[in-house]
Amino acid sequence: MFRSWIAISLLLLSCAAFAKSTVGQSVEIHQPASGLSFIARVDTGASISSIHAVDIEVLGGEAESMKDNIGKRVKFTTEGLGGVTKAIEAKIVKVTTVSNSQGTESRYTVELELQYEKDVRNIRVNLRDRGHMDYKLLLGRNWLEGHYMVDVAEKNVIGERAPIHLLEGDITFDTRIDTGAVENSLHATDIQIENEHPSDMEANVGKPISFTTVNEKGEKRRIHSRITETSLIRNAQGSEVRYMVELTLGEPGKEFKVKVNLRDRSEMTHKLLIGRNWLQGHYIVDVSR
């Protein structure tokens, strides 16, 4: 009898495990109250989920001690897909102390309704400025537990050509996906650099830069950015040094920040080339698509 009970228990546990769905390292999440959607990073190393939050304001006045604000409502601004920002109000349910490589910090924790496909639940998330991060929403173990297993090998699939949207110029390119290229390359002409050093490209790193780009339909945009570094490119024609900038690129609605080198691609069919620095960790390429 005892052995039978153990066998049944193990069978039930096994069935429960198989009943869990599998998610990849990122998922699309909808926040019904604000109407915002996010591409969220799934992080089994984080005990609690976290959302991008700036302009945090405790309504009715903030007490000196963060813990004394528990129970009050807080208003903050967050950013969803496509760079859309919205103000959200929620109740502070806890103050969480988070330790990371930068040290420790205390953050307000609120409860938000999050939707993944048909799964709609109230999830506790802490508030943090994630403006410099690719993912404005991070899903921790409190979202995963009892519901999902994680397959970190799961990635989006993309073909050898794809429509890629440049958020800064609101322009879409018929893009070549090239796993042989280390980095992305964007068509750029009429490059102007503020206080440009005429002969030393390295001296221009960090300076504001503007340039004109055009897609395959002939649509033009003037793009403003900042030089992040220079890149030595070697190809069949020889080698050259190009400026690199950080831009927000991706399939429409799934853009993220990535470094791009600038080159006059007037004679090339594709005005934007996507390389491994955009693909890595996000996509696998299926040339049959």
Pair 126, 201 in one domain: no
Residue positions counted in the chain: 289
Boundary-marking domain end, from 127, 150, 173:
150
Is the Cβ–Cβ distance between 108 and 126 less than 8 Å?
A: yes
- CA distance readout (Å), 189 to 220, 240, 276: 11, 16, 24
Q: What residue numbers bound the domain in which 222 lies?
A: 156-285
pLDDT at 23 over 50: yes
Q: Provide the number of structural domains found in the chain.
A: 2
Boundary-marking domain end, from 110, 131, 150:
150
Q: Please check whether residue 6 lies inside any domain of the structure.
A: no
Pair 161, 211 in one domain: yes
pLDDT at 16 over 60: no
Boundary-marking domain end, from 150, 177, 201:
150
Pair 181, 142 in one domain: no
User: What is the pLDDT at residue 284?
Assistant: 81
Q: Please check whether residue 3 lies inside any domain of the structure.
A: no
Confidence bin at 1 (pLDDT 50/70/90): low
Pair 78, 136 in one domain: yes
Which tokens in the block code for residue 83?
A: 């760079």
pLDDT at 2 over 80: no
User: What is the pLDDT at residue 13?
Assistant: 45
Taking only the tens place, the pLDDT of each residue in 174-220 is 999 988 788 999 999 999 999 999 999 999 999 999 999 999 999 99
Q: Please check whether residue 231 lies inside any domain of the structure.
A: yes
Q: Which residue has the tokens 């969220």?
A: 40
For residue 276, give the 3-state DSSP assignment. helix
User: What is the pLDDT at residue 206?
Assistant: 97
How far apart, in whole angstroms, are the C-alpha atoms of residue 80 and residue 32?
Answer: 12
Pair 201, 253 in one domain: yes
How far apart, in whole angstroms, are the C-alpha atoms of residue 284 and residue 281?
Answer: 9
The percent of residues in the chain predicted with pLDDT above 70, rounded, is 88
Q: Please check whether residue 213 lies inside any domain of the structure.
A: yes
- Of residues 281 and 68, more confidently modeled: 68
Is the Cβ–Cβ distance between 123 and 111 less than 8 Å?
A: yes
Q: Please check whether residue 125 lies inside any domain of the structure.
A: yes
The DSSP bridge pattern shows strands 238-250 and 161-166 to be antiparallel
Q: Please check whether residue 138 lies inside any domain of the structure.
A: yes
CATH number of the domain residue 233 falls in: 2.40.70.10
How far apart, in whole angstroms, are the C-alpha atoms of residue 138 and residue 44?
Answer: 10
* 218-240: average pLDDT: 89
Task: Tell me the HSE value of 108 on the side-chain side, using a 13 A CA sphere.
Answer: 30
pLDDT at 53 over 90: yes
Pair 163, 143 in one domain: no
**Rounded to two decimals, what is the model's pTM?**
0.53
Pair 177, 257 in one domain: yes
User: What is the pLDDT at residue 17?
Assistant: 43
Pair 112, 231 in one domain: no
Q: What are phi and psi of 174, to 5 degrees?
A: -80, 100
* 236-252: average pLDDT: 89
Pair 134, 198 in one domain: no
Pair 274, 163 in one domain: yes
Specify which residues 246 forms β-bridges with.
Answer: 259
Confidence bin at 160 (pLDDT 50/70/90): confident
User: What is the pLDDT at residue 236?
Assistant: 56
- CA distance readout (Å), 11 to 8, 22, 98: 5, 20, 38
Pair 177, 103 in one domain: no
The DSSP code sequence of 208-268 is EEEEEEE-TT--EEEEEEEEEEEEEEEETTEEEEEEEEEEEEESTT--EEEEEEEE--TTS
Pair 185, 275 in one domain: yes
